[in-house]
Chains A and B, each alone.
Chain A
Amino acid sequence: MARKRQNQSIRNDFFEDIQSALGYPPDLVCRSLFVREEQAVHCVYLESMVDKKTIDDYILKSFTEHTFAEGEAPRSAGSGFLREVSFSDPYEELREHAVKSLLAGHCVLADFARERVCLINVTEPRQRSIDEPKSESTIRGPHEGFTESILTNVGLVRKRIRNPFLRFEKMSVGSQTGTTLLMVYMENLAPDSLVREVRGRLSAIRTDSVLESAYVEEFIQDRIWSPFPTLTNTERPDVVAAQLLDGKVAVMVDGTPSVLLAPMTFFEFFSSPEDYYQRADIATFIRWIRLISFFTAVFVPSLYVAATTFHQELIPTQLLISLSAQREGVPLPAFFEVLLMEVVFEIIREAGLRMPRAVGQALSIVGAIVLGQAAVEAGLISAAIVIVVAITGITNFVVPVYSFGMSQRLLRFSFVLLAGFMGLFGILCGALFLVAHLVSLKSFGVPYMIPASPSKGADWKDVLVRLPRPWLDPNRLPGYIRNLKRKR
């Protein structure tokens, strides 16, 4: 009788405590089944996190249909599926286990007959289907993209690399969010030192929350004060597979489709795994276009400012006359004109990202017609500025990695300021600073400017040109990865 009372009290307190710990959420469901008189089984779960069909078909049905023999309990198919906590355990521990499990999408089954609590994994997280990544679309090549579910992402990588050496190391970061991280690498290809370094940096992260891989990137990147990313991120499993096969390390974060890749060098931002889906000559041509676009995006506005305000003698006569005619009656100096238009362009671009798609179209019309054509006709800005801003705006999107494009935007503004104050000398000083900064950068121990600095002649083979596949060594890793392995 005393035991019965104890059970009763546990039952009342237990459910009350769980509800209170979770703040009486609307999706908390408690279902009771009376298997035998006074011996109820209570099933508690968060409706939004679980697969209700599994609960109905496999858990509750097993009690109602008496498919178990007396004294037999549903047994787990594998570890993690079912975990038992006995009533004899301390009550606090029991409650804590139950709350954590509920939040992880488990079903808490309180069996008062057998004086135990079963924690059954019936998770069904809400996730979208596998789509093509919007920011990294491709013409030729796979159109699959990562999703927010880390397990799906693991599957997408496994599908491409069917190799027992593919390693996934699980970690958990974020004291509040408890986000799962996976460090992915090929054990036979990735250098040990690199894997150790990434593991070390990941385990040193001390933060309360990780909601996106960018949180992790900021913790593990080499230098905070640099416009250049030392890691790249991608939503494409084929890109991750290609980089893993190059001996690099990927970091997957649960809840985001962006996967981090390290190390990255400056020139790697100009090549893309897509280069290998094209013919070699076309891929080489596209690489050159990307390089030219980088320099155009960074230097054209500043060169325009420098040439038109300091070094008019550099401009061919006919062009000078034409530019001079355009500037007749324009109130602002060329420097402010460029700065103003660049800022306006950035505003339009940022607004375009946030705007609903239907309004976005109207915005682009306003941006293109009102700010371009009308401003020129009203004599507020010269037509050449619109061309300069348009060219830089377009070329900024050519680089395959979006984060690298962002750094180009920052650099462009710095160079415009330098050109506005000091002309070509300013640009030259800025370029020298930039080169000095670039050669001092490292990405996980790899010099950022390799193979230019330190100079490695042999490594140029797949940098400025993409040699045809049959000419490339099938087992060939990038030069710096080979160096890291050799050091071992």
Chain B
Amino acid sequence: MTYRYAAGVFILMMFTALLTACWDKTEMNELALVSMVGVDIDPDSGKKTVYYQIINPLSGTSARGTPGGEQAPVYTYEISGSSFGEIKSTIYKMLPRKLFIAHSKVLLVSQRAAGQGIRDIVNFIEMQPNGRSSVPMLIVDGSISQVMKTFTPLERVPSDAIDSRLKLLIRNSLLAGKHIKVNDVIERMEKSDTIVLPMIAATSENPSSNSGETAADIDANQNNFIIGGGAVFRDYRMVGKLNDAQLVWYHLLNGDEGRHVRRFQVEGKQVSMELRLVRMQRDVFRQSDQPSVRIRLDLQLSATWANEFVPRSRAEVKRLEGNLNRIIENESLAFYQMTRERGWDLLRIRDLLRKQMPNHPDIDQAAKNAKVTIEVATRLLRTGSMNQPYEGTG
């Protein structure tokens, strides 16, 4: 019995040799905690530049000594090379600590690099042993170097600022959606679908590189960056842009559920309404041998922000709902027509047909020729706290 026990212990001890051990040990103060990665590729020379934004732990309030204050919350390291693999080694010419990107929150890609293709960049992120592909990917409109070297007010670490803004935008608007992560990009691109990624741009030409100055400036719009617009990707390449108005229809027709307030012109009157998607149904059926797609959107309306006009009777509510149904149907259909003309399958009709009609001989052609109808049913469920706005009529 004792021998068997000893033998068991010995065998298990042998197995432990295969496991991670002291040689994998890294103390936390030997790590460079990467918060944001930026990638740029020069289209002429093909030179790749990677920006690593490293968190300075001593700037935090938990640090010993002077909390925050004079220290920058992040440091941006910029390194160039002919390949991403090369950069992995040459980074240590400048960086004194072990690169640790498991906690990076955002991936930025320059617009010019996105135009050439992001396949290499995505592979670079995926291949890193402790890399994460569940981080949002944003396209930089303008100079990536400028964005990477911008300190953000209030949220001291820029990646936190971007991450937090995206979360708020997803909840409180239809300007950003949930499917903007690197792994979403890979999934969509591998299925030959399209994806729209948010864009980011610096607000000033020459942002201050001093965190103290940024923190001392009352104008938060200076030395900042702004998220706006969307970059359309197909086959790992950026093929176009969407403006904010178009992004609303894109996200709505893709099932995003953010509460978005938009002003509509109804019967000559302006009215601001908050929309929220309750349910989206997409049906495929054959019509004269062509596939036809019917998209039905059930929207919940709120007049909380309608300071211009508040419907006062049931008839007015019904009429408002009817008008909004028509307006939203028309505008979203116009959006669809625009994407179709440009050859962007932003409503993912192809993916839908592939699922619903798996035996169709030519899905690509069927998706192009599919007739798309959009039906909208809105219901005004919430009104504001006033049943009549102040009009100053005496």
Contact = CB atoms under 8 A, between A and B. Distances in A.
Does A associate with B in a complex? Answer: yes
Interface string B12-47: 100010011110111111010101000000000000
B63 interface: yes
B27 A309 contact: yes
Q: Taking each of A313, A322, A325, which has the highest tally of chain B beta carbons within 10 Å of its own beta carbon?
A: A325
Contacts of B31: 312, 324
Interface stretch (A85-93, A362-370, A418-426): A418-426
A433 B24 CA distance: 23
Interface stretch (A175-183, A327-335, A404-412): A327-335
Given A327-B27, A330-B29, A422-B19, A312 B102 contact: yes
B103 interface: yes
A153 interface: no
B3 to A, nearest CB: 16
Contacts of B48: none
Interface stretch (B54-62, B238-246, B251-259, B289-297): B54-62
A320 interface: yes
Given A324-B28, A328-B29, A333-B27, A313 B20 contact: no
Contacts of B19: 422, 425-426, 429
B25 A328 contact: no
B26 A309 contact: yes
A423 B60 contact: no
A312 to B, nearest CB: 6
A320 B27 contact: no
Contacts of A309: 25-28
B351 to A, nearest CB: 33
A422 B16 contact: yes
Nearest to A425: B19
Given A310-B24, A328-B58, A379 B64 contact: yes
B100 interface: yes
Interface residues of B, number: 27
Nearest to A316: B103
B64 A326 contact: yes
Interface in B72-119: 100, 102-103, 105
B293 to A, nearest CB: 42
Nearest to A327: B29
B130 A321 contact: no
Contact of B130 (A313, A322, A330, A426): A313
A326 B12 CA distance: 36
A326 B62 contact: yes
Contacts of A425: 16, 19-20
Interface in A311-356: 312-313, 317, 320-330, 333-335
A423 B28 contact: no
A379 B60 CA distance: 17
A308 interface: yes
Nearest to A429: B16
Max count, chain B CB within 10 A of own CB: residue among A321, A329, A335? A321
A165 B134 CA distance: 70
A426 B63 CA distance: 31
Nearest to B8: A436
Given A321-B55, A322-B62, A429-B16, A312 B22 contact: no
B20 A423 contact: yes
Interface in B126-158: 130
A321 B16 contact: no
Contacts of A312: 26, 28, 31, 100, 102-103
Contacts of A433: 12
B238 to A, nearest CB: 29
B29 A421 contact: no
A320 B33 contact: yes
A317 B102 CA distance: 9
A333 B26 CA distance: 9
A324 B16 contact: no
A328 B57 contact: yes
A334 B28 CA distance: 9
A429 B9 CA distance: 11
A324 B64 contact: no
Nearest to A334: B27
**Of B24, B29, B55, B63, which is in contact with the most chain A CB atoms at under 10 Å from its CB?**
B29
Contact of B28 (A320, A335, A426): A320
B12 A429 contact: yes
A63 to B, nearest CB: 68
Contacts of A313: 102-103, 130
B103 A327 contact: no
A325 B16 contact: no
Nearest to A337: B27
Contacts of B100: 312
Contacts of A327: 27-29
B64 A423 contact: no
Contacts of A325: 57-58, 60, 62-64
B57 A324 contact: yes
A322 B157 CA distance: 14
Contacts of B63: 325-326, 328
Contacts of A320: 28, 33, 103
Contact of B20 (A308, A323, A377, A422): A422
A417 to B, nearest CB: 12
B33 A324 contact: yes
A71 to B, nearest CB: 71
A362 to B, nearest CB: 28
Contacts of B64: 325-326, 328-329, 377, 379
B250 to A, nearest CB: 30
Nearest to A423: B20
B103 A310 contact: no
A308 B30 CA distance: 11
Nearest to B103: A317
B57 A321 contact: yes
Interface in B177-193: none
Nearest to B29: A327
A421 B57 CA distance: 26
A377 B65 CA distance: 9
Contacts of A335: 25
Contacts of B57: 321-322, 324-325, 328
B26 A321 contact: no
A323 B12 CA distance: 34
Interface in A376-419: 377, 379
Contact of B21 (A317, A329, A333, A421): A421
Contacts of A334: 27-28
B24 A308 contact: no
Contacts of B29: 324, 327-330
A308 B28 contact: yes
Nearest to B19: A425
A309 B27 CA distance: 5
A379 B28 CA distance: 15
B56 to A, nearest CB: 9
A211 B177 CA distance: 75
Nearest to A333: B27
A376 B29 CA distance: 16
A330 B22 CA distance: 19
A421 B17 CA distance: 11
A221 B26 CA distance: 43
User: Can you list the 7 inter-chain pairs with the closest CB atoms, starting with the nearest?
Assistant: A313-B102, A325-B57, A325-B63, A322-B62, A324-B57, A425-B19, A327-B29
17 contacts: A312-B31, A313-B130, A317-B35, A322-B62, A325-B60, A325-B63, A325-B64, A327-B29, A328-B58, A328-B63, A329-B64, A334-B27, A421-B22, A422-B16, A425-B20, A426-B19, A429-B16
Given A312-B31, A324-B33, A325-B63, 10 more contacts: A309-B27, A321-B55, A322-B62, A324-B57, A328-B64, A421-B22, A423-B24, A423-B25, A425-B16, A426-B19
